Amino acid sequence: MKLFSKIYGKGDSLIILHGLFGMSDNWNSIGKRLSQNFEVHLLDLRNHGRSPHHSEFNYEVMNEDLKEYIQDYSLQKAIILGHSLGGKVAMNLASNFPSLLKKMIVIDIAPKEYSVDFHINILDTLLQLKLNKYSHRDKIDLELQKSIKDHTVRLFLMKNLYRNQEKEFAWRFNIYALKDQIKNISTANFISHKIDVETLFIKGEKSNHITLDDYSKINNYFPFSSIKVIKNTGHWVHTNEPLLLEKIVRNFIRD
């Protein structure tokens, strides 16, 4: 599958992968600033953003998508940064094709299985919306407030709203494929051996996606890794502390 991307700058190749329900636009500001030092590739994973939709959604096919992208653009020893789902996709690539990567940065996700019940509930809520009945975004937000109380989560989801060719609201992510296949991304069974790629794990201090119990697992599977905690941040580290995150990323790559 040919993935959609935005490319900025020149230098060592830095691939950035968003999380579930996200897209390359979420990283646009950070990507542009990092492009002062690197050739930044902001990708949309399959079934997200402006990349193609497909009924298959699992780590194996996303791994092949990413490998194809790297080969198409002749990226030699790329640096890869992945947030949440994107972090697992990056770990999968490092597990299968470590020679493609120079370094890896994994943001607020661990090499373990996660529950997807929260995401299933979100998808169920979105599927109940009849978007063709709405003419204003604020009306959609009001409806979502009944089930999704967190304003930050709603704002994140609604960044995916756009008007299709019929001028009706639609979701950029493939809501039907995600609902059908979402349990495929709960796993981390693709990591079964030590991965020698130099890796930085970044944890949001207030997030529970990486716990102290996960540190030993990280160190076991990634012997050339370190873990950095960014204070006063939740799961969306790049939103809470973008400038600090950029500084940490630059320092890690340059070391």
Catalogue the active-site residues: 84, 235
> Phi and psi (nearest 5°) for 50?
-105, 10
Using an 8 Å Cβ cutoff, are 9 and 36 in contact?
yes
Helix (H) or strand (E) holding 244: helix 242-254
Instruction: Please calculate the CA angle 41-219-94 and round it to the nearest 5 degrees.
Output: 35
Tokens 């002749």 identify what position? 74
d(CA 246, CA 113): 28
Burial (Cβ within 10 Å: 0-12, 13-18, ≥19) of residue 137? exposed
Strand order in the sheet with 5-8: 5-8, 38-43, 12-17, 78-83, 101-107, 198-204, 225-230
Amino acid symbol at 177: A
Cβ contacts of residue 172 below 8 Å, gap of 6+? 23, 48, 49, 50, 160, 161, 162
What residues pair up with 8 in beta bridges, in sequence order? Answer: 40
